[in-house]
Amino acid sequence: MSGTDVKRSVAPGVRLGQVSFVWRPWLVSVTLLLAAATFLVFCLSIGVGDFPIGLSRVIATILGGGERVDEFVIMDLRMPRALAGLIVGVALGVSGALTQSIARNPLASPDILGVTGGAGAVAVFLVTVSGGTAAAVVSAVGLSAAALAGGLGTGLLVYFLAWRRGIDGFRLILIGISVSAVMEAITTWLLATADIKDVARAQAWLVGSLEGRSWGEVRVALWCTLVLLVVVSCVAFQFKPMHLGDEVAAGLGVRYSMVRAVLLLCAVLLAAVAVSAAGPVPFVALVAPQVAMRLARCPTPPLVASGMVGASLLIGSDLVARTALPITLPVGVVTAAIGGPFLVCLLVRANLR
Amino acid sequence: MSAEHITDIESAAQGDTRLAARGVTVGYGGRTVIENLDVTIPPGVITTIIGPNGCGKSTLLRTLTRLLKPAEGAVVLDGEDIAGLRTRDVAKKLGLLPQAPVAPEGLTVADLVAKGRHPHQSWLRQWSSDDAGVVERALAMTGVSDLADRPVDSLSGGQRQRVWISMTLAQGTDLLLLDEPTTYLDLAHAIDVLDLVDDLHESGRTVVMVLHDLNLATRYSDNLIVMRAGSILAQGHPRDVITAELLDEAFGLRATVIDDPVGDRPLIVPIGRTHVRPGQVPVRTSQVRLG
């Protein structure tokens, strides 16, 4: 650094060997705080239950120094649920941040891009149509995998329908809304004509829940999410100028069509993984990037912070759903109830300034 | 620079010309806008492309910056076909400012200008002291250093355009292509931006721009490219190119061309259907279809 002659307005750089990046203390602190908050909620969520375990014992057990009883309860019984919440929250948060950035529109969440609607329609179809083929499909690949395929298929359909010499944000959103509406109509029709017992099962899935996750399911979701996050972080640098629009990005040497296609595919896949793991949990993907953006004071959704907000929101909501009320609610009910007002709060505060 | 030299592509390829189009045919979808067009951008001067709406002037500029890929022919940058170069390498040689760009709400001036360093950065090397210095100089040169901490969306149109030009400068290229840099600006701000463009040219850069306002184009360019219906009607110094006949041919505009009272270039005085005093229109040989 040349140091003194660099004015404060131009962001200072940090250099570690070959690596250098812009030093943004506020963003880094907010992200670290969000990570700490996520870890705290994660541990709390594990500790709460019929057999309560203190926070310090939970942390000790996670770090590998706990007692045997605690270890069984924590690692075998409660970890899958908490971990599912973490993965789904991060996946939805990052997916929302990507889609909102790509469309340059805060309305563009995976819910709108048809992923949720498509996954829901496929899942409800398989649950309610008790035909031989449907049952065979469910037993062969599982409901989650089938829902994932449905979400991915619908997301890709929206992408190709929206393609016209490139992707335009508004066109993407309009086609997403239309396709989602069709998927929801199919879902409603299936529910209206189905057997009442199947409807209850389907409804439970449609609200979104972390109930009864197994290590096997969680492991698949974890690996899928990790791989996708690695891809996203590799491409993210090329994505940065695209907030200024395609042509400016092209002028700055970005192959924007390729970058956007890769990232949109990652976003759809992340959302599909999340939906297949926990059902279509509403609102997290829409609200997490917007909350992260305002907390971190960034003009565009910050990826890591969005993932952290998504995870805290989802695990926190699950915690509230299990403890605050006399009946146990599915997590999806609470994410909408908490996330909605929180976003409104942030918007009102911004207006008052 | 003589007209023969400018149009001589062979000598340009080995001389100091850096950017040229050779036999390019470009269109959108199935519609051809430009057909088999040759043009050489003279180095070190301001070239402005003018022409009526829909004549293909933006298309030509976008082709020169490889935003549009020609169906036939090639754009040559420093002797190489631009289509064969890596996008990043092109961005290190050629800066581009599209028409009416929009910054995300809340992005600060300094952060926007810093984005101009992108072609020089990599995943590992995202910011260096060189970058900071270049950004500082770009801000100073465009006179927006004092605005560095302000959000771009809080600025006036003229200031905003200065900031965008500053970002293009931070890219560190000596070839600048500006697509209608004065769009949406009032005359005072347009003059301000064009004075800035002239400063950039004085510091040795080659500028190519598209302008709508003929008198501004005439005042600020050393080389005019006049287009009509996808081909080049005339090219050269405004003094040689701007005549009443040409304006009629290119734009279907009745006008009289006089000497600019404050500059050394011609000044175009348009003649509409109304508000023209019959006896006051000077009769000149270059004037057509009058009376």
Express each pLDDT in B2-53 by its tens digit. 444 434 434 433 447 889 999 999 988 778 889 899 999 999 999 999 999 8
Number of domains in chain A: 1
Spatial separation of the C-alpha atoms in residues A146 and A165, rounded to whole Å: 32
Residue A172 within any structural domain of the chain: yes
Residue A301 within any structural domain of the chain: yes
Q: Do residues A252 and B116 make contact, with C-beta atoms less than 8 angstroms apart?
A: yes
Residue A2 within any structural domain of the chain: no
Spatial separation of the C-alpha atoms in residues A337 and A325, rounded to whole Å: 13
Nearest Cβ partner for B136 among A6, A240, A250: A6
Residues of A in contact with B107 (CB under 8 A): 243, 299-300
B168 inside 8 A of chain A by CB: yes
Residue A61 within any structural domain of the chain: no
Stretch A160-170: mean pLDDT, rounded?
A: 78
Asked whether the predicted pLDDT for residue B213 surpasses 60, the reply is yes
pLDDT at residue A347, as a whole number = 74
Asked whether the predicted pLDDT for residue B183 surpasses 50, the reply is yes
Express each pLDDT in A66-82 by its tens digit. 788 888 888 888 888 89
B270 inside 8 A of chain A by CB: no
Taking CB atoms and an 8 Å cut-off, how many pairs form between chains A and B?
127
CATH of the domain at A237: 1.10.3470.10
Residues of A in contact with B132 (CB under 8 A): 1-2, 6, 10-13
How close does chain B come to A341, measured CA to CA in Å?
23
- For A329, the domain range is 30-38+78-352
Nearest Cβ partner for A20 among B112, B118, B128: B128
Residues of A in contact with B98 (CB under 8 A): 245, 247-248, 251
Stretch A135-154: mean pLDDT, rounded?
A: 78
How close does chain A come to B268, measured CA to CA in Å?
33
Asked whether the predicted pLDDT for residue A208 surpasses 70, the reply is yes
ipTM for this model: 0.83
Spatial separation of the C-alpha atoms in residues A104 and A19, rounded to whole Å: 29
Residue A58 within any structural domain of the chain: no
Residues of B in contact with A9 (CB under 8 A): 108-110, 145, 148-149
pLDDT at residue B8, as a whole number = 41
Residue A6 within any structural domain of the chain: no
A347 inside 8 A of chain B by CB: no
Per DSSP bridges, beta strands A19-22 and A13-16 are: antiparallel
Residues of B in contact with A10 (CB under 8 A): 110, 114, 132, 135-136, 139, 148
How close does chain A come to B188, measured CA to CA in Å?
26
Amino acid at A268: V
Residues of A in contact with B104 (CB under 8 A): 104, 243-244, 299-300
How close does chain B come to A21, measured CA to CA in Å?
5
Express each pLDDT in B223-262 by its tens digit. 999 999 988 999 999 999 999 999 999 999 988 999 999 9
Residue A1 within any structural domain of the chain: no
Spatial separation of the C-alpha atoms in residues A232 and A224, rounded to whole Å: 12
pLDDT at residue B263, as a whole number = 86
Residue of A nearest to B133 (CA): A6
Residue A8 within any structural domain of the chain: no
Instruction: Specify the pTM.
Output: 0.85
Beta carbons of A247 and B115 less than 8 Å apart? no
Helices then strands (H, E): number in chain B? 11, 12
Confidence of residue A231 (pLDDT cuts 50, 70, 90): very high
Beta carbons of A165 and B104 less than 8 Å apart? no
Nearest Cβ partner for A251 among B65, B145, B149: B65
CA distances for B111 relative to A24, A241, A313, B94, B146, angstroms:
11, 11, 30, 21, 14
Beta carbons of A6 and B129 less than 8 Å apart? yes
B133 inside 8 A of chain A by CB: yes
How close does chain A come to B9, measured CA to CA in Å?
26
Residues of A in contact with B112 (CB under 8 A): 244
Q: Who contacts A190 (Cβ-Cβ below 8 Å, separation ≥6)?
A: A121, A124, A125, A128, A129, A202
Region at A256 (left for phi over 0; alpha for psi -120 to 50; beta for the rest): alpha
Spatial separation of the C-alpha atoms in residues B75 and B86, rounded to whole Å: 14
